[in-house]
Amino acid sequence: MITSHFPKYVAVFALFVLSVGALDTFIAAVYEHAVLLPNRTETPVPKEEALLLMNKNIDVLEKAVKLAARQGAHIIVTPEDGIYGWVFTRETIYPYLEDIPHPEVNWIPCRDPRRFGYTPVQDRLSCLAKDNSIYVVANIGDKKPCNASDPQCPPDGHYQYNTDVVFDSEGRLVARYHKYNLFAPEIQFDFPKDLELVTFDTPFGKFGIFTCFDIFSHDPAVLVVDEFQVDSVLYPTAWYNTLPLLSAVSFHSAWARAMRVNLLAANTHNTSMHMTGSGIYAPEAVKVYHYDMETESGQLMLSELKSRPRSEPTYPAAVNWAAYARGVKPFPSEQSDFPGMIYFDEFTFTELKRNTGNYTVCQKDLCCHLTYKMSEKRTDEVYALGAFDGLHTVEGQCYLQICTLLKCQTTDLRTCGEPVGSAFTRFGEFSLSGTFGTSYVFPQLILSGSQLAPERHYEVSRDGRLRSRDRVPLPVLVMALYGRVFEKDPPRLGQGPGKLQ
């Protein structure tokens, strides 16, 4: 099932833009796909059976592509693993793979399907793009032969890569990206030996592309934005929500805001694996998003974006994330801090005892300052301010500095940091800041029901404060400044004992 969010006036505007050729804006689409999974992945299947499954998924994606194109979309992003699913071995993924050439070969598979051997999936994706005059972004598997002269060549004689492909509106392959930071269970794929920074130009801006867990790393995510100055990032993902701090829509929207680029994020949809959360995010605002743990259907989203946001008067200014906090004396406390765990990291917490107050909590070099005012201090809900400054080592190794205000799961302080779904306590005023040692800080504000707070209710000041804007009382679930200190990461993020996808 495909449903869509799309204002009628945007469709009319898209037609106007196309008619006059002024591509100052474009219509972006993302599709959250409920992937049809294979019945078995423990033993290899014939190539024909693999293709049958992939075509069933592409049948669903085709409906989304056609619907998006009819509504004026210039580009559509589909999810990671969206064509064949996940949980494979090297052997069982092989029938699903194709040889994907470098885009420099100037190839339109729809017109020349046999040029690079048997490539039915690329042929079909190319025709979808060409026949609907839309850029199509998909995630498939690439295979590349190697031999004994290559000391890293796997015993089976070929490399296998988790791969994003982009076909332009003529069906031409214009981008190929091999995922650089693999998730631990992705034993079916190889790590690329060399970093790929993939960008391509369109009439509606310059695009970069990477996949899922790559968003946590400096390479390629930060490099492709900072060094190549892309306007928009295409982001296929298969993201399972890990509350309270790693919900897909909150982290991805925060990343777009902090990196000051458009982000088109398409997630897979599988509620049993807590996979949901796709969206279209601009530097200054969330355009549209979808977070649904109740139904099993896919969702198409469309929104208008600025083609070159850096040239717009609304482009947000750079933030000095420690400017305010370093000038604040730590607020005195009459109570003891206590430890608590969030996703295997031991935070230092302090409880919010009153309906209004000023609190500071510190860990190592990070001090987090909070000023707040609740409309009512409920007795059945407990909130805590937490700080973490250290190396995260479970399911990935990355150095974090995090300030967070969150609702504890129960009134027992030992549950602070555990996932929570709803909140009734309302905050009319708040200001959260921290003495961060990094310029890469991702601000999140999540309301009851895991919904994103509308931008009209809060702001990020240039001196590094996440603060209320209009004093409208908000049922806050989580407030966070999620910092990444890339220079303290172990070598080659993604090669540790495990990773978060």
Residue 241 and residue 358 in one domain: no
pLDDT at 4: 54
- Given the residues 179, 306, 407, 499, the one annotated as active site: 179
Domain annotation covers residue 55: yes
pLDDT at 2: 60
Residue 213 and residue 330 in one domain: no
Among 292, 311, 330, which residue terminates a domain?
311
Q: From CA 396, how far away is CA 181, in angstroms rounded? A: 10
3-state secondary structure of 498: coil
Residue 103 and residue 153 in one domain: yes
Q: Is 80 a catalytic residue?
A: yes
Among 285, 311, 337, which residue terminates a domain?
311
* Among candidate residues 370, 414, 364, the one with its CA nearest the CA of residue 391: 364
Q: From CA 473, how far away is CA 426, in angstroms rounded? A: 5
Q: Is 212 a catalytic residue?
A: yes
Domain annotation covers residue 129: yes
Q: For 429-470, how does the pLDDT look when each residue is reduced to its tens digit (9 = 90+)?
A: 999 999 999 999 999 999 999 999 999 999 999 999 999 999
For tokens 């993924």, name the residue: 93
Residue 298 and residue 351 in one domain: no
Q: From CA 298, how far away is CA 32, in angstroms rounded? A: 5
Domain annotation covers residue 1: no
Residue 294 and residue 386 in one domain: no
Residue 207 and residue 287 in one domain: yes
pLDDT at 257: 97
- Given the residues 62, 80, 98, 186, the one annotated as active site: 80
Residue 374 and residue 231 in one domain: no
Domain annotation covers residue 242: yes
Find the helix or strand (DSSP H, E) in which 411 lies. none
pLDDT at 185: 82
Distances in Å between the alpha carbon of 294 and those of 144, 244, 272, 423? 40, 18, 10, 19
- Angle (CA) 353-412-342 rounded to 5° is 95
Domain annotation covers residue 482: yes
Domain annotation covers residue 316: no
3-state secondary structure of 471: coil
pTM of the predicted protein model: 0.94
Parts of the chain with a pLDDT under 70: 1-22, 492-501
pLDDT at 40: 82
Domain encompassing residue 304:
25-311
Residue 213 and residue 237 in one domain: yes
Q: Is 368 a catalytic residue?
A: no
Residue 198 and residue 333 in one domain: no
- Given the residues 32, 62, 110, 212, the one annotated as active site: 212
Environment class of residue 428 by beta-carbon count within 10 Å: exposed (0-12), middle (13-18) or buried (19+)? middle
CATH code, domain with 211: 3.60.110.10
Name every residue whose Cβ is closer than 8 Å to that of residue 3 and which is 6 or more positions away in sequence. Answer: 297, 299, 300
Does residue 33 contact residue 297 with C-beta atoms inside 8 Å? no
Environment class of residue 106 by beta-carbon count within 10 Å: exposed (0-12), middle (13-18) or buried (19+)? exposed
Residue 209 and residue 129 in one domain: yes
Among 311, 334, 367, which residue terminates a domain?
311
Read off the amino acid at residue 238: A
Residue 271 and residue 338 in one domain: no
Q: From CA 364, how far away is CA 360, in angstroms rounded? A: 13
**Helices 47-70 and 120-132, axial angle in degrees (round to 10):** 10
Does residue 190 contact residue 200 with C-beta atoms inside 8 Å? no
Where b means 16+ CB within 10 Å and e means fewer, 296-323 reads eebbbbbbbbbbbbeeeeeebeebebbb
Q: From CA 169, how far away is CA 136, in angstroms rounded? A: 8
Domain annotation covers residue 432: yes
How many domains, in total, are found in the chain?
Answer: 2
3-state secondary structure of 259: helix
Local structure of residue 486 (DSSP, 8 states): G
Domain annotation covers residue 36: yes
Q: Which two tokens stand for residue 168?
A: 């332009």
Residue 347 and residue 415 in one domain: yes
